Structure 1
Amino acid sequence: MIRISILNLFFFIVMLVINYYQRSSVGYIANEQIPLIQPANYAFSIWLLIYFLLFIWIVKGFFVRGKKGSVYRENQLLIPINFILNGAWILAFAQQRILMSTIIIFLLLISLIRIYNKIKRNANKALFDLIPFSIYLGWVSIASIVNVFTFFVRNNVITFLGIDELGWTVVMLLFASLLTVVFILINRDILYPTVIIWSYIAIYINNQEVAINKIIMSNIILISIFVLFISISKVKAEN
């Protein structure tokens, strides 16, 4: 376990260093040509929470023993790969290689889905083990969609399959909301949808399109209802 935790910590630090030195470039590029679906700048502060929770999870690994360590052993390759992909995405985006960054962020998303599922199925997981990855997965789910739109906007693609940016924004918001509801029902996870709501509120604040904002508000209400439903059912189950 010590060896696994040291490797996790090493790649985590590498990722943080890359993020620290490239943060201004990423922010500048992200705000240069803004797609309709991009959240307001404050929403990106969620990375601080994600990194803080990941750090706690990594440090926790130094102290777990026996069966509890199976969560770390099962993900001993995926965690470093995830951190490498995170850093690679930052570098690609900072160098304005948006297509490459889009490919990388979807690989990052796939790695997170695998990590989440492995931890979710692990009978020996602690209550905290899933929390960092629920929030991380929720944010990267939205960031992946934003990255695609950023690619199209920066390449001046006005329409795709006969649908303009406004139309695709509405479609993707509805699609993301549908996936979120399915995710809630399957995993009974309230943190993932909470991050989606956080993102939607930031998109709403950053947007002037009436149609998009109406869709966002409707989706926030829908997702909130399911979050409330799952929360109540969990409380009843515990009692």
Structure 2
Amino acid sequence: MGLYITMWIAMIAVIVVNVLSNTLPINGQTAADISDRLEVLFTPAGYVFSIWSLIYVLLVIWLITIYRKVKDNRFNGKVGILFIISCLFNIAWLFSWHYEQFILSIIVMFFLLFTLIAIYKQYKNNETGFSERFPFSFYLAWLSVATIANVSYVLKYNGVDLGISEVVGSLVLVGVAVILGYLAVAISKDIFFTLVIVWALVGIAVKTDDATMQYGTIVLTIILIIVALIHYMRMKTKRLV
């Protein structure tokens, strides 16, 4: 039960720090203030970031619904420890970003990403309930996009172009996100992960003023939707046979 209480403390700390980061804000600037200083093509429109609220609500529901498992000693303690670590990395990322320690922010975000992957892998493909993988489908998918966006921002901030135009580079990153969205359905049978990727990509297409980036993102997103739905429907059909 001590682990469970610590998980709640960690979750509350994450929510409090996130609220303060926008209301205080930390270091006198919000995350959006920093992000808006550079015109980075792989950045979703502002409304897309509202998904953080949904993620935190799902995590709170997850904490509530796992109580019975914890009480009956059926809860995987490794997941609990990893969850606490993920909360610490979440908070660390906020401080590193708000204090413009961008290289550090990438390192911390990758650690957060790897921690979420570790949590995600603790659940089987059929463990998709609120007390199981469901909340982490949203969290991991969004963090995957956020990590790509963070790297893209820091590269531009430091003037790194990798020898290609920003539009081409950004479309490559969109392609990476599309591949992740497809693999989630193909390997993990996780349509919710894919939906979050689509949500983010639509937001990128909405925000950009570059026609090539916009149309390219739309086309790749449509391809993802079609391919993912075909694979998902085939998977459903096999289950019924």
- Scaled by the length of structure 1, what TM-score is found? 0.90
Q: Map 1:49-128 to 2 at 5 A.
A: 49-64=54-69, 65-66=71-72, 68-70=74-76, 73-120=77-124, 125=127, 127-128=129-130
User: Matched residues in 2 for 1:148 and 1:39: separation?
Assistant: 14
Residue 165 of structure 2 corresponds to 164
Percent identity among equivalent residues? 28
User: Matched residues in 1 for 2:227 and 2:137: separation?
Assistant: 16
* Cα drift, residue 227 of structure 1: 3.0
1:40 to 2:42 alignment: no
- Paired residues of 2:128 and 2:134 also in contact (CA < 8 A): no
Q: Which amino acid aligns with 2:101?
A: R
For structure 2, the residue ranges without an aligned partner over 5 or more in a row are: none
Deviates more, 1:162-171 or 1:139-148: 162-171
- Paired residues of 1:158 and 1:164 also in contact (CA < 8 A): no
Cα 1:42/1:126, change in 2 over 3 Å: closer
- Paired residues of 2:18 and 2:94 also in contact (CA < 8 A): yes
Q: Map 1:1-239 to 2 at 5 A.
A: 2-23=1-22, 24=25, 25-64=30-69, 65-66=71-72, 68-70=74-76, 73-120=77-124, 125=127, 127-128=129-130, 129-155=132-158, 157=159, 159-160=161-162, 162-236=163-237, 237-238=239-240
* Cα drift, residue 3 of structure 1: 2.1
Equivalent pairs, count: 232
For structure 1, the residue ranges without an aligned partner over 5 or more in a row are: none
User: Matched residues in 1 for 2:99 and 2:182: separation?
Assistant: 35
Q: Which amino acid aligns with 2:171?
A: V
- Paired residues of 1:8 and 1:80 also in contact (CA < 8 A): yes
* Cα drift, residue 16 of structure 1: 1.1
User: Matched residues in 2 for 1:3 and 1:223: separation?
Assistant: 43
- Paired residues of 1:15 and 1:87 also in contact (CA < 8 A): yes
* Cα drift, residue 238 of structure 1: 4.5
User: Matched residues in 2 for 1:4 and 1:154: separation?
Assistant: 40
User: Matched residues in 1 for 2:231 and 2:161: separation?
Assistant: 39
CA-atom RMSD in angstroms: 1.9
- Paired residues of 1:38 and 1:146 also in contact (CA < 8 A): yes
* Cα drift, residue 170 of structure 1: 1.4
Deviates more, 1:163-172 or 1:200-209: 163-172
